[in-house]
Amino acid sequence: MILQKLSLNNFRNYTQQTAEFGKSFNYIYGNNGEGKTNILEAVSLISFGKSLVGSPEFDCVKFGEFSFFTEGNFLSRLDTKFSVSLEYNTDSKRKTYSLNKERVSGFSSEIFGRFPVVFLTPHSLAITYGNPSERRRFFDIMISQTSKLYLEYLKDLNRLIKQKNALLKDFKENGKTGRNEFLNILDSYNEKLIEISTEITFRRLEFLADFKVFFESKFNYLTSGYDFPVINYLMSANGEIDWKDFNSYSYDDISKIISLKLNEIIEEETARGICLIGPQRDDFVFKIIKNKSGDVNRHQGFYLKNFASQGEHKTFLISLKLAEFDITREKTNENPVMLLDDVLSELDSYRVTKIISYLKDFGQIFLTSTETGYINSIKEFYRNDDMKLFEIKNNSIVQK
């Protein structure tokens, strides 16, 4: 997938701006605060549906204005042209997406996943440093971009969890429903939750079994093979599942685990008034084993979140994102657009060279930086006609 052109109207610091990009490497540079990240943010909004820095649409409206409009023109692997646009109005607080000038009724059903994107920003460090919700979000988004059905299961899960939590809270605080009636309703919710939770958990383990192959390869490339990375899966219903065992859990195994645990904690959930287990409470456990071996298990190594250095966090994260690109490309048969926001800072020259040399095998890349010094390093791996340089200055995008 190639983003050929981006148009901005009253978006962040841009009044009206259009930029045409190259199909390979787009280097966007300028001082802090000039609006480099804003360009990538607009791309993420039209292709992914969310800001890559987590901002609400309201914050993207230029100061003093009441709406913004952004549009991207894409070219697929089969040379099919698409236009995707987003308009947001602060008065109505509504966002309107259009595909090929036709308004779409649902972003997730008509646009999400059709224009795959992978982004890496300073905010992405929350995946390794942050709470379990950040890691769940990372993997859920990645799997959803390659599976519409998985996305629907997530929607069903969120709806059921809200309904079950409302039931538990109401019974705890008001107790107007008789206990037998309450337990019957709770049982019906749990039956549905067992089915949906099993689908999501099983698909996560299936995905991880594939993903870890790509991930280990990227981590090995960046570290020259000394360290060994581990991603285990922590089920709230059953504990930690070792990376070697992902394929050993059948659908029925997972269903039984969740069913037994839900029955076991009925009284605890009732007393606390909240759902206590399920995919919405599971976690992805990141570890590093210093002595690479073919006989490692989850009891070896150290937890990344608690004991890793800043460099180890960043290397782990970049490996996750490079693997995300590869597995998304394999499963969608499209090269995702890669958005890299100031990712080379604070890395040593060895890893910078490693990353840039590796990126040459990717599709379209957008890289922002405050530095121009990286340009010569990039030119070692890209021809001049494979690169486009853009300077961001005085609220304008200037091709150099």
Cα separation, 343 vs 137, in Å, equals 20
Nearest to 45 by CA among 64, 58, 63: 58
Cα separation, 269 vs 361, in Å, equals 50
pTM of this structure:
0.86
What kind and span of H or E run contains 25? strand 25-29
Strands 337-341 and 67-75 come out as: unpaired
Instruction: State the pLDDT confidence band at 348, using cuts at 50, 70 and 90.
Output: low
CB atoms under 10 Å from CB of 400, counted, come to: 10
2-116+334-399: CATH topology: Rossmann fold (3.40.50)
What kind and span of H or E run contains 378? helix 374-379
Q: Are 223 and 215 in contact (CB under 8 A)?
A: no
Cα separation, 359 vs 200, in Å, equals 32
- Sequence spans of domains, the chain: 2-116+334-399, 129-307
Residues 377-395: pLDDT tens digits?
Answer: 777 777 777 888 999 988 8
Instruction: State the pLDDT confidence band at 123, using cuts at 50, 70 and 90.
Output: confident
What are phi and psi for residue 84, nearest 5 degrees?
-125, 130
Q: Strand pairing partners for 81? A: 75
Percent of all residues in the chain with a pLDDT value above 70, rounded to a whole number: 95
Q: What integer pLDDT is reported at residue 347 of this predicted model?
A: 64
Cα separation, 184 vs 387, in Å, equals 63
pLDDT above 70 (res 297) = no
For the domain bounded by 129-307, which CATH number is listed?
1.20.1050.90
